[in-house]
Each structure stands twice: as structure tokens, then as C-alpha cells.
Structure 1
Amino acid sequence: MESKTILVTGAAGFIGFHVSKQLLELGHSVIGLDNINDYYDVDLKYARLAELGIQRNQAEKELNLTLSNSFGERMQFIKMNLEDREALPSLFESNSIDIVCNLAAQAGVRYSLENPNAYADSNLIGFLNILECCRQNKIKRLVYASSSSVYGNSDEVPFKETANVDHPISLYAATKKANELMAHTYSHLYGFETIGLRFFTVYGPWGRPDMAMHLFTDAIINDRPIKVFNNGELSRDFTFIDDIVSGVIATLSETSDRSSLYKLYNIGNSKPVKLLDYIIAIEEALNKKAKKEMLPMQAGDVKQTYADVKALQNQYKYMPRTNVKEGVEAFVNWYNTYYN
């Protein structure tokens, strides 16, 4: 792909940071946007930005578009809420943006039980704001984050994009399903390409502290019991961050499928792992046994995830390469370095 200017929302987030870094290393220009909310430790978010050459004192300045950093003028950062109906259109109007990669969202299934309004603001109003800005500024392609959570507790595995996803079991999942419907409407009405990516349990270095990989590692190191829900009778299609990034970057390039402007793809490892086996991999990487607190199923959680990734493979030659043992070791190495 020739050099482009790409707006990456959620640039201080786990996936957004890694995607931004890879785009910069490929020679593209990135306009990173994030509101740096306090859903989890903001120090981790600022540390990610520092890896992109954006120092904390720069990142804390709202609407700052002129930054000096290690990637020169190819990396800009703006602290902004996605749902800001004045600032976001102004950002689009004042920059020549080729492609939008919308990875910003209020994440977390369990947190949606505690603070539903945060999901309406970011995932619904914010996403509509992105769609409107794309329409008004003639953006030709929008790649956005959906989630495997839209499949709910489906027993039909592996999960296929053609499956019925009308029965989400968390508000988070419902907002992601809504994003897909909204994108379909805008592709149909206004003729620009939308590509939704249903992420499957992403993990790896710089991962979110509220996710299982981080929680388990931290608890085991500090001799605390880990919470094992549904008595361990869960399986997840754990997908290493590098494999996710390769898929996202591919969809940001020129697409080979011209049959439809609206597209949805699963992006996962396509090799589900039992939760207890995942814990064993962490124990082996740490050389330390976990103390397990066996608990019932949590509200809003699902029993299994399993991605059928044939569509993404066929269109973009997507091929996940990292097994859980390698991925867990990479995370633990990063964790030990970052937390000293």
C-alpha cells in the first residue's frame, strides 16, 4: 500500500497502539486519537504513547496537532472524546485523511453492567459521529472494531460471519452489533466502504490490565488466588496481538473484494484453548503454580468462542501464526520488563 494518512482512534489503547506502531514502521502517517479515560491505569496508556514518540506532557494537551516525536510529522496525537460533535468534525476538516481505523470504544463485558452510559456515549454516539465525519469528508474506507461477543452463547461452532447474531447477552455486545448495523446503513446510503472486524480474545504485550492474561499473571506473581469462572469450563479463541495487527493492516490496504461496500470478518486464531490450559501456559511461563478460586459463570459472559477465519484468509491472506505457548511467554517477558 502506498503511503497514506490514517486516522486511528483508540491510539493509546491496546490494539490501537500496536496498529499505529506498525503503520508508522511501514511508512504511513498516523493521526492518533484517544480520550485517555480512566477505565484502567492511564499510566499504561501514556507509556504506550511514549513508544510512539508522544510524551505525556504532549499527550495531555487537548487538540494538540503539532507534536515533536521520534516519527517526526508522521505521528500526531489528539486527546479527544469520540462523541465530541464539534471537535471531531473540525479534526476531519483540518486534515487530509485517507482511511479511518476506528478502534476506540468503551471495552469490557462486565463493566457494561456497572456503567452502561459509557457504552452508549462511546460505542453508539461516538461511532455515529465517526460515520457522519466519514460521510461529510468523502472518506472511502472505514475499518472498525466489532467483537466476537456479538455471537452470544451460540452453540454453532466455529462462529461464522453468516450466523444469526440477534441475541447478544451483554450491553457491550449489543453496542457492537449496533455498530455493524449502522455501518451497513451508511455503506448502503452513502457509498463508502465499511469493514467490521470481530476480534476474538486478543492478548499480548501492552495488554489491558482488566483482561484474563494480565489478571492471572499479576495474581500468580503476587501469590493471590485467580478467579476461574464457570469452574474452568470455558474456552476462548485466544489471539496474539501480532496476528491481530497483521489482519487489521491487511484490511487497511486496497481490498480485493469489490462485490460489496459492507464487509464483516472474524479475526481470531481459529484454535480455541480451554481456560485451564491457558492458565497452565501462564504457570509454565512464570514457573509458578496458580492458586485457583473456582467460581460460577458471570453475568454477560459466554462459554466459548471459536472463529471461522476463512473469509479473511480468502480476501486478505490472513494467517495467524502464534500459538498460545509462544504468545503467553511474550506477554510474561513484557510484563516482567514493564513492571520490573
Structure 2
Amino acid sequence: MEVKNNYKICPVLQDPDEYTPDIVDLLSNETARNYWLITLEGVVKKFVDKAENLNPENPKATEHAQACLQKFHNLVEQIKLDPLILKPLTVRTLLDYNEENLRVHFKDAWQLQKETETLQALKTFSERIQKINSIGDFNKKWEELTKGVLAGNVFDWGSTVVAKIMDTSPSFGLSHAMDIIERRPWFIDDLDLWLKRLKNNPYECAIIFVDNAGIDFILGILPFTRELLSMGTKVVLAANSYPSLNDVTYADLQMYCSLAGQYCTIIKDAMLNQKLVTVENGQKGPCLDLAHITSDLYDMMTEADLIIIEGMGRAVHTNLNAKFKVDSLKIAALKNEWLAKTLGAKQFSVIFKYEPKIPIRT
């Protein structure tokens, strides 16, 4: 089923015609609209102070960042007068709008930050793998791997509270993030149920929608991926087609995986044997619209029996309620206190939502 611009709708959605990615419609929810307009403008504003350091080759970086802020501010003021000016009006579409503005002036506004954090994370990649290998118990090993993904997901420059921590504590690392996130039982905690499924019947093909560069991807996602590969699962890593904050892009993926392969033969061999594959997902912002994926990803998803969506943007702001014809995991640390409270949780609560496949209707 195709949509405009030759993009396609995810083939394993249970009800593609009823699918909507966003959990909150800001047009109908005035309280949420008022909160997110102010909050997201604040996120855009913070980039102005960072633009010059992040883009040293651009002598007009600050000026360009201020122009992007002004354009976003103008949109916010227009929405206050007429919310119908942006359709649909959601966190996703507001973030997409900002990223499109940035790309007018910046090829990849956070590229330097991503490269710096990724190279730094690679220094402890072998140590992380060794720790995972030292755990003999199946459930305990996978719990550690999952905690790594959740702690890694904390490292998001789009989160105001986390950005403040990272700005003031340069040594803040994976172990520190593990101390911040919620202890089990988590807010949504289907880990034991999923591990029972995983242990008894390993998956054939998993699609993982990745989030942030640096610690998130290198020390969270890749060890998790490596263990799936060790069980014989083919893994497809799907990343944004266009730059967005410090998120991994498709252009980054191959390089990051190749660098990790220098430290891990499982990853290196899987790349050579096409058991570890990278693909662009068609997205231009930090959320995920599964009605707008690339043809290549569409084809790969037809083979998948597990969908993994990581991060607050892709798995909470969007797709938290999406239903699939195959097994799915939605994994995220709730870094925004207001959003957490609306869900009945607290800041840094954990979502690990496992939903077994829904039988195809006949």
C-alpha cells in the first residue's frame, strides 16, 4: 500500500488504514498544546548557544541558528492564534518542521557532537562486551543488555534535563545513567514475558529502529544487536534518512557499525555475511511515522518477525499504541517529566512494552 512521494506504509501494521503515529493530537488537546509549544521552542532556543561550537566551519552558525529559532517562534505564535495552521498538529510535526529549517543552513547540525560521542563510546565498547560475556545466566544477561539500551537512551540532547546533565558533567557515562533510570519492576515491564519467548524460540529477523548516536547506539543497541546475532537472528538497523538532533542517520550507520566491527568479530562477520544490514527509514525528525517508510525498509519488514522501536520520540510520542502482525518491543526511558506524568509515570520511568504478534485476520 503506497503513500505519496513513493514511500510506503509498514507492511506488518495490524490496521494500516487506522494507523496514526501520534499518541496526542495537539489540535484537540489544548493543555498539551500549550505545554509542547513552549517546551519545544525552548529546545530550539538552546541550539543557538551551541551552534558555533558544533559547527566551527560555519562562521555564521549562530546567526543561522537564530534565524531558525525566529522561524520556529513565528510558527508557534501563529499556532496560538490558529492551531489549524499546521496539520496534523503534533509533537512529531513540530519537530519535523524545526529539522527542516535547520537543514537549510546546516548539513548535519549535530555531526561533530555525534562523532565525538561515538568515538568516545567505542573506547569502552570492548569492556562492555566483556561484561556481557561474563554473565552466564540467560535471563540475567538479557536484563543487563536491556538496561544498557534503556540507560543508553538517556543520552538525548533533545531532552532538557539530560542536556543540562551532559553540559555540566562531561564524565557522565552509561553506569551513571543506569543509576538514574527506574529500578525494576519498571512502569511497563514485559521483559520476563519477552525473555520466555526469546529463550524458547529465537527470532529469524529483527528490525531495530535506532535512536541516538554515541553511548546509546554503541553501548546500548550494538551489544543488544550482537546477542541477537549470536542467536542466529538477522538484524536490520533502521536509521533516519535525514539528520535530526544527535540521532543516528543512515549515513552514520555503516561507519559506526564498521568501527564497532574492529572490536567485535560477531558484528564484523555479520556485516560481511549480510546478517547485519543497515537501511534508511525515510524519516526527517526524531519521531517515527510508519506510514512513511522507504521501499527498501518495506521489503525488509516483510521478512521480520520482531520489530524493536527505541526511544521516547519513536516509541512513546509516536507508536506507543501501534499494533503489529509480528512481535514488537517498544523501549524507552521517559526523560520528560510532564510526558511521564500524563502517562501515570515519573521522570526516568522505563517502558519495556512487549506485544506478541496479532494473528492475521482471515
Fold shared by both chains (TM-score > 0.5): no
Name which structure has the greater RCO, CA cutoff 8 Å, separation 6+. 2
Q: Give the TM-score normalised by structure 1.
A: 0.31
Q: More helix by proportion, 1 or 2?
A: 2
Q: More strand by proportion, 1 or 2?
A: 1
